[in-house]
């Protein structure tokens, strides 16, 4: 008997080809012009005309492209999980205050260092210190929103609560900023612009391992997430442990968002916009299709945003956050105007 | 010897209602239900009398306030969620959230208690899904999106989803609430057919008292003071139906087997 549920095999193959092509284009662009042939040979044969080219490709551009892929996938998956869990198309790491939680953690580390003592500020430069602070912050705000969500059933109220937590954290950040020095402030500002570069292979390994833990957790909740589409009561009646599913979703989301925000700064709109774009492309709610689709689309869009941000053939690089918002916000507006109703 | 349970659902001194920190709100107590398999039961009662509460308690959606519930002779409190999902399926009165799942995907979700961790559908699962579409006569809706369906179509595919769960008991909370007479009668006859030909135990709450009297094997009547259960014909003979609505305007006509307007 044939299973009539669409597998979208062809769409997936096309998307993976697009991902590879865009990944390659992303690596070939930058302030230094390197011929395509030389880029290929620096990957495979290792024989390059100029030695610095190899260094640029392997130690700067390739890590950045890999970071873009992880960041794009991770944030989009978090967005999709939030949208299903809260049954609200506007949910996402940003709206629910998770990203602000991560920002709070980082700001306490960078800006609050002066309160505790100058010794700590040397650790603040360390990306690993930032990662831990951001993850803790993200987890803290997410648990607070979750506690509120258990008390308040109405999903609209939960979103508003998330927004309120967001403004509480940003006001704490403002107070911290007011009392901190110009150099600390500058350091925090640069972090909040978002950046995909500057990661060493060691840091990418850390990012990648947390990402993989998150993805493994997510694969275990694909089945219950699908039944949650019919509402909590139906899910329960089909034997789903709703509480456990909710907890795993939250842990996976805070791991992914926390660690990504830590290493690359609070990147806006990817988490909110990519799931909607993907749903438009695939026209399904089935998480077995949506989760991998959202991961690939997120990676593609992040690579495109990064390619634009580095302003090809110039020495300037724009803050990645500016590009994602510039793209994301109009997409959401266009979606709402065109479709009027979003199904999740 | 084959083990044969006499009652598929059986309660003793069951009381239902809600508890909050401050006080307990008992809606009904001392409910004794003894239901044999293969029957179609209609639960009748006025709005707000506690029909949904009773169904929610029987399906473990909410806890009972006292007494015991036995499903297939095992205590409901000790049955795990997955085991319960294999004996009892639901059709709820709440609206389905907007989703772009196809009807097939939605009905296939009914197989979840039986599938592996990723939800892989085996040939056996596909066969059961196919036959639940056939039993509800909804094959033509398979590839439609859930949000495109009319109320009547949606009700049928929700029954199909419950059938895909392939449980001996199906409980439906006001399945005909949004339907016109045509679709209401269709739903009733579909459910009656499932009870009669497939030995399913069907329990539904409804306001269609006159229709219920024609098809139900058993009736459960909830009145403010009383819970009466029994064979439809016995309840008619005993004049129990007159207690259902304590209104001066409605009376039960024994010969017509119908509720009628009382003429002054």
Residues of A in contact with B118 (CB under 8 A): 219, 222-223, 288
Task: Choose among A96, A35, A126: nearest CA to A258.
Answer: A96
Contact A230 B104 (CB under 8 A): no
Q: pLDDT band at residue A117, thresholds of 50, 70 and 90?
A: low
User: Mean pLDDT throughout A38-63?
Assistant: 81
Residues of A in contact with B81 (CB under 8 A): 236, 239-241
Question: Is residue B179 pLDDT above 70, yes or no?
Answer: yes
- Tell me the CATH number at A239: 1.10.3470.10
Question: Is residue A339 pLDDT above 80, yes or no?
Answer: no
Mean pLDDT computed over every residue of chain B: 91
Compute the distance between CA of residue A322 and CA of residue A269 in angstroms, rounded to an integer: 10
Q: pLDDT band at residue A66, thresholds of 50, 70 and 90?
A: very high
Whether A344 is covered by a domain: the verdict is no
Interfacial A residues in 222-241 facing B (CB < 8 Å): 222-223, 226-227, 229-231, 233-234, 236-241
Mean pLDDT computed over every residue of chain A: 85
- Supply angle C-alpha B133, B136, B138, rounded to 5: 55
Given B94, B105, B113, which is nearest A5 (Cβ)? B105
Residues contacting residue B258 through CB under 8 Å, at least 6 positions apart: B210, B213, B252
Contact B130 A1 (CB under 8 A): yes
- The three-state secondary structure class of A78 is helix
Secondary structure letter of residue B243 according to DSSP: G
Compute the distance between CA of residue A301 and CA of residue A335 in angstroms, rounded to an integer: 16
Residues contacting residue B96 through CB under 8 Å, at least 6 positions apart: A230, A231, B146, B154, B158
Tokens 């209609």 map to which residue? B42
Dump pLDDT digits (tens) for A316-333: 888 898 899 888 888 778
Q: How far is A6 from chain B (nearest CA, A)?
A: 10
Question: Which of B85, B93, B95, B105 to mutate against chain A (most A CBs within 10 Å)?
Answer: B105
Q: Report the pLDDT value the prediction gives residue A193, as an integer from 0 to 100.
A: 85
Residues of A in contact with B126 (CB under 8 A): 1-3
Of all residues in chain B, the percent with pLDDT exceeding 70 is 98
What six digits make up the tokens of A209?
Answer: 């391992």
Q: pLDDT band at residue B193, thresholds of 50, 70 and 90?
A: very high
- The three-state secondary structure class of B5 is coil
Compute the distance between CA of residue B74 and CA of residue B5 in angstroms, rounded to an integer: 11
Question: Is residue B99 pLDDT above 90, yes or no?
Answer: no
Q: Does A344 touch chain B (CB under 8 A)?
A: yes
Instruction: Give the highest mean pLDDT range of A22-26, A96-100, A327-331, B96-100.
Output: A22-26
Q: How far is A190 from chain B (nearest CA, A)?
A: 40
User: Chain A residue closest to B142 (CA)?
Assistant: A4
Contact present, A193 and A320 (Cβ < 8 Å): yes
Given B105, B112, B143, which is nearest A238 (Cβ)? B112
Tokens 């690993």 map to which residue? A128
Domain membership of residue A67 as a residue range? 9-339
- Supply angle C-alpha B160, B165, B166, rounded to 5: 95
Contact A237 B89 (CB under 8 A): yes
Q: Report the pLDDT value the prediction gives residue A126, as an integer from 0 to 100.
A: 65
What six digits make up the tokens of B111?
Answer: 């197989």
As to burial, measured by CB atoms within 10 angstroms (0-12 exposed, 13-18 middle, 19+ buried), residue A116 is exposed
**Complex ipTM:** 0.92
Whether A2 is covered by a domain: the verdict is no
Domain ranges of chain B: 95-166
What is the β-pairing status of strands B74-75 and B24-31? Answer: unpaired
Question: Is residue B204 pLDDT above 90, yes or no?
Answer: yes
Residues of A in contact with B96 (CB under 8 A): 230-231
Task: Choose among A288, A5, A230: nearest CA to B143.
Answer: A5
Q: Does A287 touch chain B (CB under 8 A)?
A: no
- The three-state secondary structure class of B48 is coil
B141 — alpha (psi -120 to 50), left (phi > 0) or beta? alpha
What radius of gyration, in Å, describes the C-alpha atoms of chain B? Answer: 19
Task: Choose among B64, B81, B72, B60: nearest CA to B35.
Answer: B72
Compute the distance between CA of residue A196 and CA of residue A198 in angstroms, rounded to an integer: 7
Contact B112 A240 (CB under 8 A): yes
Q: Does A1 touch chain B (CB under 8 A)?
A: yes
**What are the beta bridge partners of residue B102?**
B145
Q: pLDDT band at residue A115, thresholds of 50, 70 and 90?
A: low
Tokens 């439809």 map to which residue? B232
Task: Choose among A65, A250, A75: nearest CA to A149.
Answer: A250
Q: Report the pLDDT value the prediction gives residue A191, as an integer from 0 to 100.
A: 83
User: Mean pLDDT throughout B180-198?
Assistant: 93
Dump pLDDT digits (tens) for B7-39: 999 999 999 999 887 888 899 998 999 999 999
Interface of B with A (CB under 8 A): 59, 61, 80-86, 88-90, 92, 94, 96-102, 104-106, 108-110, 112-113, 115, 117-119, 121, 123, 126-127, 130, 142-143, 145, 147, 165
Contact present, A75 and A257 (Cβ < 8 Å): yes
Q: Does A280 touch chain B (CB under 8 A)?
A: no
Residues of A in contact with B117 (CB under 8 A): 220, 223
Q: How far is B148 from chain A (nearest CA, A)?
A: 12
Torsion of CA A293, A298, A299, A305, to 10 degrees: 150
Q: Report the pLDDT value the prediction gives residue B222, as an integer from 0 to 100.
A: 93
Q: Does A88 touch chain B (CB under 8 A)?
A: no
Dump pLDDT digits (tens) for A143-163: 888 788 777 767 677 778 888
* Entry pTM: 0.89
Secondary structure letter of residue B249 according to DSSP: S
Of all residues in chain B, the percent with pLDDT exceeding 90 is 72
Contact B126 A234 (CB under 8 A): no
Question: Is residue B191 pLDDT above 50, yes or no?
Answer: yes
Residues of B in contact with A1 (CB under 8 A): 123, 126-127, 130
Q: How far is B79 from chain A (nearest CA, A)?
A: 11
Q: pLDDT band at residue A306, thresholds of 50, 70 and 90?
A: very high
Question: Which of A285, A288, A341 to mutate against chain B (most B CBs within 10 Å)?
Answer: A285
Whether A3 is covered by a domain: the verdict is no
Whether A1 is covered by a domain: the verdict is no
Contact A238 B59 (CB under 8 A): no
Question: Is residue B2 pLDDT above 70, yes or no?
Answer: no
Question: Is residue B103 pLDDT above 80, yes or no?
Answer: yes
Task: Choose among A335, A206, A181, A174: nearest CA to A269.
Answer: A335
Instruction: Give the highest mean pLDDT range of A37-51, A250-264, B118-132.
Output: B118-132
Compute the distance between CA of residue A298 and CA of residue A71 in angstroms, rounded to an integer: 8
Residues of B in contact with A234 (CB under 8 A): 90, 92, 109
Question: Is residue A4 pLDDT above 80, yes or no?
Answer: yes
Structural domain count of chain A: 1
Q: Does A216 touch chain B (CB under 8 A)?
A: no
Q: Comparing A182-196, A206-220, B142-156, B176-190, which segment has the lowest mean pLDDT?
A: A182-196
User: Chain B residue closest to A228 (CA)?
Assistant: B97
User: Mean pLDDT throughout A289-309?
Assistant: 95
Contact present, A255 and A78 (Cβ < 8 Å): no
Q: Comparing B73-87, B199-213, B249-263, which segment has the lowest mean pLDDT?
A: B249-263
Output A90 or B211, whichever has higher pLDDT.
Answer: B211
Question: Which of B106, B120, B171, B172 to mutate against chain A (most A CBs within 10 Å)?
Answer: B106
Residues of B in contact with A87 (CB under 8 A): 97
């Amino acid at each position: 008997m044939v299973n009539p549920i669409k597998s979208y095999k062809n769409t997936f193959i096309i998307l993976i080809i697009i991902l590879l092509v865009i990944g390659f284009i992303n690596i070939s662009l930058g302030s230094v012009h390197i011929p395509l042939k030389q880029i290929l040979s620096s990957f495979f044969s290792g024989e390059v005309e100029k030695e610095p080219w190899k260094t640029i490709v392997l130690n700067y551009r390739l890590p950045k492209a890999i970071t873009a892929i992880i960041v794009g996938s991770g944030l989009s998956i978090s967005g999709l999980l939030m949208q299903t869990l809260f049954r609200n198309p506007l949910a996402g790491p940003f709206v629910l205050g998770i990203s602000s939680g991560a920002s709070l953690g980082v700001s306490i580390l960078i800006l609050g260092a002066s309160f505790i003592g100058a010794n700590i500020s040397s650790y603040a430069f360390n990306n690993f210190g930032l990662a831990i602070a951001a993850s803790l912050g993200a987890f803290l705000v997410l648990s607070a929103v979750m506690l509120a969500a258990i008390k308040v059933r109405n999903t609209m109220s939960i979103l508003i609560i998330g927004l309120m937590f967001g403004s509480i954290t940003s006001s704490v950040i403002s107070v911290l900023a007011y009392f901190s020095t110009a150099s600390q402030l500058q350091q925090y500002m640069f972090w909040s612009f978002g950046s995909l570069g500057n990661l060493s292979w060691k840091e990418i390994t850390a990012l990648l391992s947390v990402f993989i833990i998150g993805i493994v957790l997510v694969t275990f909740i694909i089945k219950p997430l699908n039944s949650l589409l019919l509402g909590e009561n139906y899910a329960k009646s089909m034997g789903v442990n709703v509480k456990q599913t909710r907890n795993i979703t939250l842990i996976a989301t805070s791991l992914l968002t926390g660690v990504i925000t830590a290493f690359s700064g609070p990147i806006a709109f990817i988490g909110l916009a990519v799931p909607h774009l993907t749903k438009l492309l695939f026209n399904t709610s089935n998480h077995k299709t949506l989760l991998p689709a959202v991961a690939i689309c997120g990676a593609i869009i992040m690579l495109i945003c990064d390619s634009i941000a580095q302003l090809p053939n110039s020495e300037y690089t724009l803050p990645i956050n500016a590009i994602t918002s510039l793209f994301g916000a109009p997409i959401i507006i266009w979606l709402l105007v065109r479709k009027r109703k979003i199904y999740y | 010897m084959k083990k044969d349970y006499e009652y598929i659902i059986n309660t003793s001194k069951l009381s239902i209602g809600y508890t909050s920190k401050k006080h307990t709100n008992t809606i009904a107590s001392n409910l004794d239900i003894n239901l044999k398999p293969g029957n179609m039961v209609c639960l009748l009662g006025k709005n707000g009398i506690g029909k949904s509460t009773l169904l929610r308690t029987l399906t473990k959606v909410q806890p009972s306030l006292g007494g015991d519930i036995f499903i297939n002779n095992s205590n409901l409190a000790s049955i795990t969620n997955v085991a319960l999902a294999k004996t009892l399926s639901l059709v709820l009165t709440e609206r389905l959230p907007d989703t772009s799942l196809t009807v097939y995907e939605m009905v296939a979700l009914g197989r979840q208690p039986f599938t592996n961790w990723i939800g892989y559908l085996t040939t056996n699962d596909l066969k059961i899904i196919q036959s639940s579409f056939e039993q509800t006569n909804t094959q033509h809706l398979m590839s439609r999106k859930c949000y495109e369906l009319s109320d009547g179509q949606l009700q049928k595919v929700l029954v199909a989803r419950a059938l895909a769960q392939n449980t001996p008991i199906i409980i439906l909370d006001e399945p005909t609430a949004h339907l016109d007479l045509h679709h209401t009668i269709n739903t009733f006859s579909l459910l009656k057919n499932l009870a009669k030909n497939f030995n399913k135990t069907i329990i539904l709450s409804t306001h269609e008292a006159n229709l219920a009297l024609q098809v139900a094997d058993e009736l459960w009547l909830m009145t403010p003071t009383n819970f009466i259960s029994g064979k439809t014909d016995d309840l008619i003979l005993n004049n129990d139906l007159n207690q259902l609505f304590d209104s001066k305007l409605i009376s039960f006509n024994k010969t017509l087997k119908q509720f009628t307007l009382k003429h002054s």
